[in-house]
Structure 1
Amino acid sequence: MIGGAQLGAIQKHDSRESVVARMLALLEQAKDRGCELVVFPELALTTFFPRWYMEDQAEVDVWFEQEMPNAATQPLFDFARTHRIAISFGYAERTPEGRYFNTSILTDRTGTIVGKYRKVHLPGHAEFDPERDFQHLEKRYFEPGDLGFPTWENEGAVMGMCICNDRRWPETYRVMGLQGVELVTLGYNTPSVNAQNRGEGEAHRLFHSQLVMQAGAYQNATWVVGVAKAGVEDGFPLMGGSVIIDPNGFVVAQADTQGDELISHRCDMDLCTFGKTTIFDFKRHRRIEHYGIITRQTGAERPA
């Protein structure tokens, strides 16, 4: 059994300890349902701080974790070990060398960290943009991830991670698909409206979010667990729509609210086999001699 632990809004003044208490309450529900893995959202410990323009680095640093686990998050790892539930959650990471990443970690059922991923596809911008309805400054506060898209053998499955905007890029899933991934965990914090297009509201955003996750699941014959932080944070609405998607691209569990909510499903990794050995048998069907443009060119270029 796998759980997706959606979190409602986290306000700017909320402490790490208060958020961890909410996460533990969801883990209690997961324990009662027999979950063996629980997935939490991107930046699960704080409000989505990249909406705020900050020039003082000391002000920025308060949102980052310098070690994991730390005093505030240790109860999560203790719960995982005691109740044998693996966990995955996102946070802002400051490394000992002073580098800054949007990060997620994965543990096994003893609470030991077995995998770390750093967000590759950073959306938004680096400087204050007066033309936007609100700011999205991930490019200001984070570096692009430097770990690629690794996978790990964990608790009987090949697992991989990505974060938020990564889900919109087919390369994300395919790189993991080429490593035999069977379960992709991803957390997101997605505004309910587009800061650059007021006509794109929550319905459109939910459609696109689900579309890309279903496509990634189907085209790589993998389970996808996509988990939101939702609700109104500091006056800014985030959409929900947390889902569990099977290897055929079908939604098998979905959140009904924009608050703290646990969704769950018994995910059979054997369901990945059919797709991986038929239409998406990469070894038989891929034609890499025609894909070179993908890695030698970044932006779109019209023919001369």
Structure 2
Amino acid sequence: MRNLHVGAAQLGAIQKNDSRASVVARMLALLEQARTRGCELVVFPELALTTFFPRWYMPDPAEVDTWFERDMPNAATQPLFDFSREQGIALSFGYAELTPEGRHFNTSILTDRQGNIVGKYRKVHLPGHVEYDTERDFQHLEKRYFEPGDLGFPTFANEGAIMGMCICNDRRWPETYRVMGLRGVELITLGYNTPSINSQRRTEGQQQRLFHSQLVMQAGAYQNATWVVGVAKAGVEDGFPLMGGSVIIDPNGFICAQAAGEGDELIDHVCDMDECNFGKTTIFDFARHRRIEHYGPITAQTGVER
């Protein structure tokens, strides 16, 4: 067995006026819970350090940049890396990244158990829109504030496992999991901030959205024989509800642990990476069973062509 004790650290709402320091203090409290349970890796959500700011229309670029991190670690987040090193717990969390060249990404990082950053991922599948949309119940301006990720879907050898990352809307696209699957991924960390209602379809509420969230993560886990750790930011942020539903899913697509509420909450599970082996050597033995001569349209086109 290659056991890795994984914690999924769901965060409750982060309000627009909450400081980075106050959020990091909450993250440290969850890490302390994880330490007492024996966790070796703890996964936090997308944009873990701030409110989900793409719901706000901001015409001033300087205001937008206040939500971004220019360095990682920085003064506000250094305590997380110190805890990782001192307690021997690897971390993964998401944040808004502003590069030295002035580029903006929705980013996630992965550390080892010594607090060293060993992997970075930038969100590829950005949902939403660029300009203010009067037809929506609320705005979702990720396409305004972020560039599509430029790192692809890399995997990283870390703590005895092959790990990968994706973020929120990426989970709805099967290509996300398959590219990492083709790189031998055994554990995918996946943070999300998902509204409880659909801004373009009011009848689609939390029950349906939780179903779809779990459906795609369970399918991705099963079809690529990999663990998936999906972690939410939940609760009501400045009047806007986000759904919870954080889960740890095994390589057969079954949920092993699930959050009960919409606040700060740690769930955990001892994940055996060797459980990936059966699927990877039988029904999803890609080398034996994939028929790439028929898959051309997947990379040759974006929209529907008949």
Residue in 1 aligned with 2:187?
183
Residue in 2 aligned with 1:112?
116
Residue in 2 aligned with 1:17?
21
Residue in 1 aligned with 2:163?
159
* 1:260 and 2:268 correspond: no
> What SS does the corresponding residue of 2:47 show, helix, strand or coil?
coil
Deviations 1:94-142 (A, max 9, x none): 0000000000000000000000000000000000000000000000000
Describe how 1:73-112 pairs up with structure 2 within 5 A: 73-112=77-116
Q: Give 2:84's aligned amino acid.
A: A
1:248 to 243, 252, 257: 252
Structure 1, unaligned stretches of length 5 or more? none
> What SS does the corresponding residue of 1:267 show, helix, strand or coil?
strand
Residue in 2 aligned with 1:236?
240
Residue in 1 aligned with 2:42?
38
2 CA distance for matches of 1:174 and 1:256? 30
Residue in 1 aligned with 2:282?
278
Residue in 1 aligned with 2:298?
294
Identity of aligned residues (%): 83
2 CA distance for matches of 1:105 and 1:56? 28
1:127 to 131, 136, 144: 131
2 CA distance for matches of 1:154 and 1:78? 18
* 1:169 and 2:193 correspond: no
2 CA distance for matches of 1:244 and 1:185? 10
| 1:158 Cα deviation from its structure 2 partner | 0.1
1 CA distance for matches of 2:289 and 2:62? 52
> What SS does the corresponding residue of 1:224 show, helix, strand or coil?
strand
| 1:86 Cα deviation from its structure 2 partner | 0.1
Residue in 2 aligned with 1:210?
214
> What SS does the corresponding residue of 2:271 show, helix, strand or coil?
coil
Give runs of ≥4 in structure 1 deviating > 3 Å.
Answer: none
1 CA distance for matches of 2:299 and 2:210? 30
Q: Give 1:80's aligned amino acid.
A: S
> What SS does the corresponding residue of 2:109 show, helix, strand or coil?
strand
2 CA distance for matches of 1:61 and 1:234? 20
Q: Give 1:262's aligned amino acid.
A: L
| 1:300 Cα deviation from its structure 2 partner | 1.1
Instruction: Give the TM-score normalised by structure 1.
Output: 0.99
| 1:243 Cα deviation from its structure 2 partner | 0.1
2 CA distance for matches of 1:21 and 1:82? 16
| 1:182 Cα deviation from its structure 2 partner | 0.1
Q: Give 2:30's aligned amino acid.
A: L
2 CA distance for matches of 1:282 and 1:291? 13
> What SS does the corresponding residue of 2:267 show, helix, strand or coil?
strand
Q: Give 1:163's aligned amino acid.
A: I
Q: Give 1:67's aligned amino acid.
A: D
Deviations 1:195-223 (A, max 9, x none): 00000000000000000000000000000
Residue in 2 aligned with 1:59?
63
> What SS does the corresponding residue of 2:280 show, helix, strand or coil?
helix
1 CA distance for matches of 2:217 and 2:118? 24
| 1:231 Cα deviation from its structure 2 partner | 0.1
> What SS does the corresponding residue of 1:69 show, helix, strand or coil?
coil
Deviations 1:64-109 (A, max 9, x none): 0000000000000000000000000000000000000000000000
Instruction: Give the TM-score normalised by structure 2.
Output: 0.99
Counting matched residue pairs gives: 302
> What SS does the corresponding residue of 1:59 show, helix, strand or coil?
helix
2 CA distance for matches of 1:172 and 1:108? 23
> What SS does the corresponding residue of 1:123 show, helix, strand or coil?
coil
Deviations 1:243-292 (A, max 9, x none): 00000000000000000000000000000000000000000000000000
After superposition, the CA RMSD in angstroms is 0.3
Residue in 1 aligned with 2:8?
4
1 CA distance for matches of 2:129 and 2:238? 20
> What SS does the corresponding residue of 1:145 show, helix, strand or coil?
coil
